Amino acid sequence: MVKVNAAKPLAPAMPQSESHLGVHDLLRRFDAQRIVVVGDIMLDEYWMGIVERISPEAPVPVVAVQSQDAKLGGATNVAQNIRSLGGDVITVGIIGSDRAGGLVQSRMTEQGMSIEGLLVDQSRPTTLKTRIVAHSQQVVRADFETIEPISSAQTQQLATNCLKALSNAAGLVISDYGKGVIQRGLLEQIVPAARAQGKFVVVDPKDTHFNSYKHVTTLTPNHHEAGFVAGRRVRDDESLRSVGFELLDRLEADTLLITLGEQGMALFEPNRRLTRIPTVAKTVYDVTGAGDTVVATVAMTLAAGGSMLQAAYTANVAAGEVIKEVGTAQTTVTAIKRALDELHEPDLRVI
């Protein structure tokens, strides 16, 4: 947990143009915003049941499976969040020629998402995470995947797909889960091209690739990832400020948005302004996929013409909605508006 020292809010804490009313106006412009998402595609599978006995073969529970479900994960969960918010999305990534890959394609098609940006690799499995859940408690998770980097030919094809899709889109989201798709060679082609076209680039980063995300619009690491990359833990306001601005300077990014779990978020801007955004969540059931909701909402708010402060604030409210659900979940503009109406004016703090 990050302990944040008490700090007096500036007066006013948020300019009137960026108050609840400003966010409501932006939400009305979410419809038909088009975003390109590139990254690691996954399928999240759930086997749900009950436990009534322990196995005679080993000291483990026997789960009597009563239902099964499969949901889009990774980059496709980001895309799904964008669709849920009313946006149009083009997803670029790789799947295998297997059952999980087929389910990814069918789930995407069912939700009105294009599958044209997908490459099918006959030798590579689709990343599949199978969770066995009993009485709303995850018992075990089995992962089927490879994290080997994709080939140079595949990298070039994905870059081509990205650049083609960007010509008709407001911006680019990079969803890096460290499964081999996001590599320096890909980033060196798509990031400069997007910025040269005046398009935003939002990154949900993996700490192992952190130094490759240069000159982007924003990154959304959690405080553990940010601290790991900077070589020290985020423990308080002082270490938070030190870590955040060090990473912002190192990457020469426009902004940096560090998520702080139950403590909310922290937005770092080049003018040395650090804004703390307290969490709005009252109930937390499952944080799975919350980062995907954050990056999707940030992208949609920027596409609608919002500032980075408005994007961070809106994403914080959206994340508070999805963590009420078990498993990967999405929120809607209607739900965000309702949550905003239940809140007081933002208690943002500059530290």
Active site members: 292
3-state secondary structure of 318: helix
Question: Which residue is it, tokens 């980063």?
Answer: 205
Do 345 and 19 contact (CB within 8 A), yes or no?
yes
Spell out a b/e string for 112-136, using b for 16 or more CB atoms within 10 Å of the CB, else e.
ebeeebbbebeebbbbbbbbbbbee
Q: Do strands 41-54 and 127-134 pair parallel, antiparallel, or not at all (unpaired)?
A: parallel
DSSP state of 222: B
Question: Which residue is it, tokens 């009485």?
Answer: 135
Structure tokens at 324: 């009420």
Q: How far is 321 from 289, CA to CA, in rounded Å?
A: 12
Do 331 and 293 contact (CB within 8 A), yes or no?
yes
From the DSSP assignment, how many helices (H) and strands (E) are in the chain? 10, 14
Q: Is the dihedral of CA 111, 115, 118, 123 positive or negative?
A: positive
Q: How far is 75 from 172, CA to CA, in rounded Å?
A: 12
Structure tokens at 218: 């924003």
Q: Which residues is 71 bridged to in the sheet?
A: 44
Q: How far is 194 from 248, CA to CA, in rounded Å?
A: 19
Q: Which burial class, exposed, middle or buried, applies to 190 when counting CB atoms under 10 A from its CB (0-12, 13-18, 19+)? A: buried
Residue type, 215: H
Residue type, 144: F
Q: Which burial class, exposed, middle or buried, applies to 72 when counting CB atoms under 10 A from its CB (0-12, 13-18, 19+)? A: buried
